[in-house]
Structure 1
């Protein structure tokens, strides 16, 4: 049938779903069920016989709505399946390819027009015509008609190029385009992964052997060293107390060094002078006191201060007129009242010169006998280190040490003392609960100290040495399955030989070894 033709047929040619006569034919009155888009069929009314005209789907883009909708009608979802073709290009009766639409007025409920048959099927696709070809429906250009959904095509109704004669340049279907795009994406991702892995995608063959280099057996001296952390300082801090009562009028400056005969502090104008000794003065010394070691300590300090001529050049434990003359000469140099008597609290005794580390009170403060006035330390710069109590025996007094200062310089030092008492580290620290022993390391040249008080330093204590031993890099050692160690040597022919060895000291990244056939210059394999 040509497009746009109107061949009227009898109701009997209409599909079965458009008739409500149970399939008995159209001899008697038949009820034609009305179908509208999205609306259920009317039921229960007899209709007169209607004329049906088939219309190709491509000629109608939208189905006309009825002029009025009867009240109380519900929409019905769904539609019959696609058409089955028959000779002549139209679907046959009962195939589900017809959709009956009766042009009826809802108010009168009687058929006043003809039922229109529409073709239901897949949508039309209009490919882009090839360059130079005729219009899409031109049979000369290789096109044929194909029914489809109404309104799906954008050109001539129901036309599609032949599969075998499709002109070049026709648009590719969406499914093919998606497949091609997915393949292209997969190729791009694979190329990127190969580029990240190594650029070319080629992998080095796995030989199962570690890359190695060779090293020579050395004849050397191994220094046995212990690495510890320490703190710069001047030793332990001690407190200076006073036996005087009154107001502080003078204090030695923090960081200053006070030597024998110099003033540490003053109370109400009375000066406390530093004397050297190992026991403090506990009484007032004057003519007539009983003999005692405190008198000898005073006379020895007077001699060292240059007043020994009044004493006859020798110190004893008897305080007499000669001692009083020496005391008055000393008081004259201090520019204080010359009484020949040393009152309690006028002198402070210490083993040697002291360095003022801090003040326990301020100038103007009021003190009583026994009150703390100054914090002092020794004057020798040193480093305090904490040694593990379990391995403290490896460090001995007199062992040489290297001290790495905060500015990167390494100063030479010597272990000066090692405590014999182990103490537990306080809670909250990195070594909380561990028992350690304090050792001090002195600088061989105090001028090299530098740095700030309390600065952290690294100390390397040399606790011994192993002279003239054969040594190889630690990495050259191989563990044997039955225990022990071995090294892999290179023979003169270029082969490899496994040599069992006995190990000794470990130091500076080397290990002492002894074994059959090993000598200075022998080459061994080392992982690279």
Structure 2
């Protein structure tokens, strides 16, 4: 019934003739109320559109017209929503170095971990291992060149010893004596292959449970024996040598993307693609308003089903791009330059089974702490200009407005204080 009384009291068309205050008094009161209502409505619309700050309403219901609310001290936070896309990231071709015919491919979307088969070429598995250095050579035992010179045989005896009487030596030994013994026999002595790629491979071999060797930069006989056991597990010939096309390294487990070749086709550069296994969000942020996009910034992500999850800015692109025919001017809106912002989601379970789709990303644009605020609806227009608040006893106090956020507005001025009661205009 209170709502009905209010409509009857202020609606000229429905008020009975001969009731209420004199025409002049009543007219001034009606004009003042209409002015206040219009100003409040305009300010509320500005706040809702983001022209004055906040873009969303607070969780609580707005105060009712005619009610009294206190001036509170609080923190106001301006939040802005931008569109983003959830996915596993851009698909990247796997560096397959095996040559031959593709005889098996995994399913799109499958997860491959260390020691698993990525694909088969000529019915030979190509195995995923973890590391940053690409496979660039075969790994196995190698042999050093004999200390004997290739044509030293003319000066050597049948026993392999050099003829010291001629003054020729089998090799440029440090002493120059050329005794002909040891390395001067002309035989090749096996020596281990060394390098960081060996260390990377041995680290993976040990992680897969093949032990019995020292994990270092030397490919030794003990490594060979472990490799043979590894090859046996795949049903391969136990050669002890790892071919350049037998393994592919990645930083971690991968998710198989769209295949670029069919079974029976020759291996090519785009035979198989992959992504990471974690879902992430990419936002094409306006280059002019990308100040919020700082690595480590926490943001809110609203999924297509309405569920909210937390994300963190992981990287920001350095090259701005524009749509075809767009302008490169630093203005927000269609055709404006944008920067790609990648946002990671630590709690992958919170995303559920969703793999891709449009999302909304909420970030904090501005924030003011320890300020006085009132509901936007409490603002009234003063006759001398600017905004004011109506106190509980009917006085009007001029205020300066600041940040608009969550349906509230920052206010300041000599006549306003914390706890002061103000009225919501009718």
Fold-level similarity (TM above 0.5):
yes
2:260 is equivalent to residue 437 of structure 1: no
Quote how far apart the aligned CAs of 1:481 are. 8.9
- Asked if 2 retains the 8 angstrom alpha-carbon contact of 1:310 and 1:322, the reply is yes
- Asked if 1 retains the 8 angstrom alpha-carbon contact of 2:96 and 2:269, the reply is yes
Question: Deviations for 1:311-355, whole angstroms, at most 9, x for unmatched residues?
Answer: 22x322x22212212222222333322211111111111111111
- Asked if 1 retains the 8 angstrom alpha-carbon contact of 2:129 and 2:248, the reply is yes
Structure 1 match to 2:195:
292
Structure 1 match to 2:258:
358
Partner Cα separation in structure 2 for residue 251 and residue 462 of structure 1: 45
- Consecutive unaligned residues in structure 2, runs of 5 or more: 1-10, 16-25, 38-64, 143-191
2:225 is equivalent to residue 325 of structure 1: yes
Provide the alpha-carbon RMSD of the alignment: 3.0
Quote how far apart the aligned CAs of 1:420 are. 3.0
Correspondence 1:158-307 to 2 at 5 A: 202=13, 207-209=30-32, 210=34, 212=37, 213=65, 214=67, 215-288=69-142, 290-307=193-210
- Asked if 2 retains the 8 angstrom alpha-carbon contact of 1:489 and 1:522, the reply is no
Relative to structure 1, is the Cα distance of residues 305 and 498 closer, same or farther in structure 2, using a 3 angstrom cutoff? same
Q: Using CA pairs under 8 Å that are at least 6 residues apart, name the structure with larger relative contact order, 1 or 2.
A: 2
Partner Cα separation in structure 1 for residue 388 and residue 12 of structure 2: 37
Partner Cα separation in structure 1 for residue 270 and residue 254 of structure 2: 16
Partner Cα separation in structure 2 for residue 434 and residue 343 of structure 1: 50
- Consecutive unaligned residues in structure 1, runs of 5 or more: 1-199
Question: Deviations for 1:149-169, whole angstroms, at most 9, x for unmatched residues?
Answer: xxxxxxxxxxxxxxxxxxxxx
- Asked if 2 retains the 8 angstrom alpha-carbon contact of 1:489 and 1:496, the reply is yes
2:395 is equivalent to residue 496 of structure 1: yes
Partner Cα separation in structure 2 for residue 446 and residue 396 of structure 1: 22
- Asked if 1 retains the 8 angstrom alpha-carbon contact of 2:380 and 2:390, the reply is no
Q: For 2:94, what is the secondary structure of its paired residue?
A: strand
Partner Cα separation in structure 2 for residue 276 and residue 366 of structure 1: 26
Quote how far apart the aligned CAs of 1:239 are. 1.0
Would you tell me which structure has more helix in proportion to its own residues?
A: 2
- TM-score where L is the length of structure 2: 0.67
- Asked if 1 retains the 8 angstrom alpha-carbon contact of 2:399 and 2:411, the reply is no
Relative to structure 1, is the Cα distance of residues 235 and 208 closer, same or farther in structure 2, using a 3 angstrom cutoff? same
Quote how far apart the aligned CAs of 1:500 are. 2.7
Structure 1 match to 2:363:
461
- Asked if 2 retains the 8 angstrom alpha-carbon contact of 1:228 and 1:459, the reply is yes
Quote how far apart the aligned CAs of 1:428 are. 8.5
Partner Cα separation in structure 2 for residue 403 and residue 286 of structure 1: 50
Q: For 2:207, what is the secondary structure of its paired residue?
A: helix
* Bigger Cα Rg: 1
Question: Deviations for 1:130-152, whole angstroms, at most 9, x for unmatched residues?
Answer: xxxxxxxxxxxxxxxxxxxxxxx
Correspondence 1:35-434 to 2 at 5 A: 202=13, 207-209=30-32, 210=34, 212=37, 213=65, 214=67, 215-288=69-142, 290-307=193-210, 309-312=211-214, 314-316=215-217, 318-367=218-267, 370-427=268-325, 433-434=335-336
Q: For 1:223, what is the secondary structure of its paired residue?
A: strand
- TM-score where L is the length of structure 1: 0.55
- Asked if 2 retains the 8 angstrom alpha-carbon contact of 1:405 and 1:457, the reply is yes
Quote how far apart the aligned CAs of 1:418 are. 2.4
Q: For 2:417, what is the secondary structure of its paired residue?
A: coil
Quote how far apart the aligned CAs of 1:266 are. 0.7
Aligned pair count reads: 320
Quote how far apart the aligned CAs of 1:278 are. 1.4
Partner Cα separation in structure 1 for residue 131 and residue 339 of structure 2: 28
